[in-house]
Structure 1
Amino acid sequence: MQLLVNIDVADIASAEAFYTAAFGLTVGRRFDNAFIELLGAGTPIYLLQNPPGSIGAAQSRRDYGRHWTPVHCDLVVDDLQLALDRAQAAGAVAEGEVRTRAWGRIVQLADPFGHGWCLLQFLGRGYDEIATP
Structure 2
Amino acid sequence: MDLLVNVDVPDLAEGIAFYTRAFDLTVTRRLGAEAAELGGLPVHLYLLEKPAGSIGAGKEPRRYDRHWTPVHIDVVVDDIEAAFDRAVAAGARAETDIRVGAWGKIAGLSDPFGHGFCLIEFLGRGYDEIAV
1:96 is displaced (CA, Å) by 1.4
* Separation in 2, partners of 1:14, 1:29: 16
Deviation at 1:81, TM superposition (A): 0.4
DSSP-derived class of the 1:57 partner: coil
Moved segments of 4+, more than 4 Å: none
Aligned length: 132
Q: Which residues in structure 2 correspond to 1:82-121 (within 5 Å)?
A: 82-121=82-121
CA distance, structure 2, for counterparts of residue 27 and residue 21 of structure 1 = 11
CA distance in 2, matches of 1:87, 1:107: 11
Query: Structure 2 length as normaliser, TM-score?
Result: 0.98
* Corresponding position of 2:20: 20
Q: Deviations over 1:15-51 (max 9, x none)?
A: 0000000011111110111100011110111000000
Paired residue for 2:43? Answer: 43
Letter in 1 for 2:2: Q
Name the CA distance, whole Å, in 2 between partners of 1:97 and 1:31: 36
Q: Secondary structure at the match of 1:59?
A: coil
**Which residue identity is paired with 2:15?**
A
RMSD of aligned residue pairs (Cα, Å): 0.6
CA shift for structure 1 position 127:
0.8
1:75-119 Cα shifts (integer Å, max 9, x gaps): 000000000000000000110111001000000001001000000
1: CA distance, partners of 2:73 / 2:41: 10
1:55 is matched with which residue? 55
Counterpart of 1:10 in structure 2 is 10
5+ long unaligned stretches in structure 1? none
TM-score by length of 1: 0.97
